[in-house]
């Protein structure tokens, strides 16, 4: 009987990261039946409910475990700092868990989220090869890997740097468009923690990046030229596009969303959703509502409660009636023939794949972008936090498959601006050109995911490397 290779995967307390790495594991073991995976999740207070739902669809060769919870009351309120500190405080428990796994079922390698880079150090203690799984763009990956160099080159806060910042293989980026959570203030705890992560990345024996060559050609070329060398012995595996599947796939069928979408014309509906954690202020929510109404375009809007923070965490729970009260007075009545408002959550991949969906107003999270590309849906970019400004620039200036919403000096997009960009994406002559470009990307994504496609080949190469490690043990 063939030996079973066992790899350990560690993520962070963020649904977008957890969902991506879970889907990576499912796709990976689908191609490699002799490999067993254990997913380890640090948590803050309790497991994320949406993650628990995804874990219900795991095949038998993937196990998971949650580390002892870190008390949110003992952490700062800033989301990025909170996550990084929670992961750091979970590392002793992670080491114990890894030691237990190694003693019962020999582990050959570790795959870690970039914000769990401390695990790479622990992997060396156990003589394991280690890899970083990037649930992010190659552009963001290149920034992460180049940060130590940038830190030496630029002495001021990046937001104050007068010239565009050059990241290998990428469109030049202004400092204000770098992830504000990390990069706007070098004195912040978040930045100092992330700088340490960037120094740990050199410990990895390879990079698994959730993208494909046609999506980010020049950036991928720069990464491969730097890392795919005999001297460096660090391989770059392009394993994307990996998007959500499985447990979500049946949730549209028979729902109000499906019934409403089925009544609409092909490519006529704008899907509006800010991901699993994004939210708007009450003022901005009002302007978006009026903008949708003014556009006269059909829309399906996933509504979340307003907040002065752009991130409130995944999938709020509450009364549908209570959240609908945040909408402007009379909005639902005036738009009852034009749109559908869905409280809290909707099955995004299924909506994007529906023939009636013709546009996507998105916060530009990488998971959402890949889903839109896979189904060939043009985008309106509305970045909120993290690396989303960089992603928006890639979409609008690099790939030219989306249009951007413009914000005023107070950081608000007004209703007229919103209505204008919606009509431009959905109704103008410009739409056909954008549609052609994203259809080409869709075809490339389909080819990458094919049995002999680039993503499948990369996963096969990585799997063979894992199997060979087992034979050496």
As annotated, the active-site residues are 17, 113
Q: 362: which strand partners?
A: 273, 381
Handedness of CA 380, 381, 382, 385 (dihedral sign): positive
Q: 129: which strand partners?
A: 109
User: What angle in degrees, to the nearest 10, is found between the helix axes of 118-125 and 79-104?
Assistant: 20
User: Of 24, 386, 26, which Cα lies nearest the Cα of 239?
Assistant: 24
- Other beta carbons within 10 Å of 202: 12
Q: What are phi and psi of 113, to 5 degrees?
A: -65, 145
Q: What are phi and psi of 39, to 5 degrees?
A: -95, 130
User: Of 392, 405, 403, 393, which Cα lies nearest the Cα of 434?
Assistant: 403
Tokens representing 252 are: 């549209």
User: What angle in degrees, to the nearest 10, is found between the helix axes of 79-104 and 189-200?
Assistant: 30
Q: Does the bond joining 318 to the residue before it have cis omega, within 30 degrees of 0?
A: no
Q: How far apart are CA 15 and CA 50, in angstroms?
A: 7
Q: How far apart are CA 278 and CA 289, in angstroms?
A: 16
Whether the CB-CB separation of 58 and 27 falls below 8 Å is answered with no
| C-alpha separations of 278 from 90, 281, 314, 363, 453 in Å | 26, 11, 8, 7, 33
Q: How far apart are CA 339 and CA 168, in angstroms?
A: 43
Q: How far apart are CA 284 and CA 411, in angstroms?
A: 9
Q: Name the residue with tokens 């070098």.
A: 186
């Amino acid at each position: 009987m063939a030996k079973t290779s066992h790899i350990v995967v560690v993520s962070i307390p963020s649904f977008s990261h957890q969902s991506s790495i879970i889907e990576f594991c499912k796709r990976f073991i689908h191609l490699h039946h002799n490999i067993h995976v254990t997913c380890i999740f640090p948590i803050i207070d309790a497991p994320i409910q949406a993650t628990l739902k995804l874990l219900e669809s795991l095949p038998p060769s993937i196990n998971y475990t949650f580390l002892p919870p870190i008390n949110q009351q003992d952490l700062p309120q800033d989301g990025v700092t909170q996550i990084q500190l929670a992961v750091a405080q979970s590392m002793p428990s992670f080491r114990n868990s890894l030691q237990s796994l190694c003693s019962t079922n020999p582990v050959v390698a570790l795959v870690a989220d970039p914000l769990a880079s401390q695990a790479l150090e622990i992997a060396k203690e156990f003589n394991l090869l280690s890899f970083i799984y990037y649930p992010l763009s190659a552009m963001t990956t290149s920034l992460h890997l180049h940060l130590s160099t940038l830190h030496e080159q630029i002495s001021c806060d990046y937001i104050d740097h007068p010239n565009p910042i050059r990241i290998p293989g990428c469109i030049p980026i202004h400092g204000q468009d770098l992830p504000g959570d990390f990069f706007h203030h070098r004195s912040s705890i978040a930045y100092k923690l992330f700088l340490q992560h960037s120094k740990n990345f050199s410990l990895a024996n390879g990079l698994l990046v959730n993208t494909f060559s046609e999506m980010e050609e020049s950036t991928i070329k720069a990464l491969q030229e730097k890392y795919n060398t005999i001297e460096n012995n660090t391989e770059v595996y392009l394993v994307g596009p990996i998007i959500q599947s499985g447990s979500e796939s049946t949730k549209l069928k028979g729902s109000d969303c499906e019934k409403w979408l089925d009544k609409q014309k092909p490519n006529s509906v704008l899907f509006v959703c800010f991901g699993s954690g994004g939210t708007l202020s009450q003022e901005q929510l009002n302007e978006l509502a009026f903008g949708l109404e003014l556009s006269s375009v059909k829309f399906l809007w996933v509504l979340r409660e307003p907040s002065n923070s752009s991130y409130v965490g995944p999938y709020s729970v509450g009364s549908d009636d209570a959240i609908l009260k945040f909408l402007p007075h009379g909005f639902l009545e005036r738009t009852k023939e034009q749109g559908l408002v869905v409280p809290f959550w909707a099955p995004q991949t299924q909506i994007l794949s529906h023939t009636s969906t013709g546009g996507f107003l998105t916060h530009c999270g990488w998971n959402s972008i890949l889903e839109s590309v896979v189904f060939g849906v043009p985008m309106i970019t509305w970045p909120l936090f993290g690396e989303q400004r960089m992603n928006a620039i890639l979409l609008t200036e690099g790939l030219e498959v989306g249009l951007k919403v413009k914000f005023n000096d107070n950081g608000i997009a007004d209703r007229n601006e919103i209505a204008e960009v919606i009509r431009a994406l959905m109704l103008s002559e410009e739409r056909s050109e954008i549609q052609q470009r994203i259809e080409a990307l869709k075809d490339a994504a389909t080819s990458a995911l094919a049995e002999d496609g680039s993503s499948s080949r990369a996963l096969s190469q990585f799997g063979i490397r894992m199997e060979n490690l087992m034979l050496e043990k």
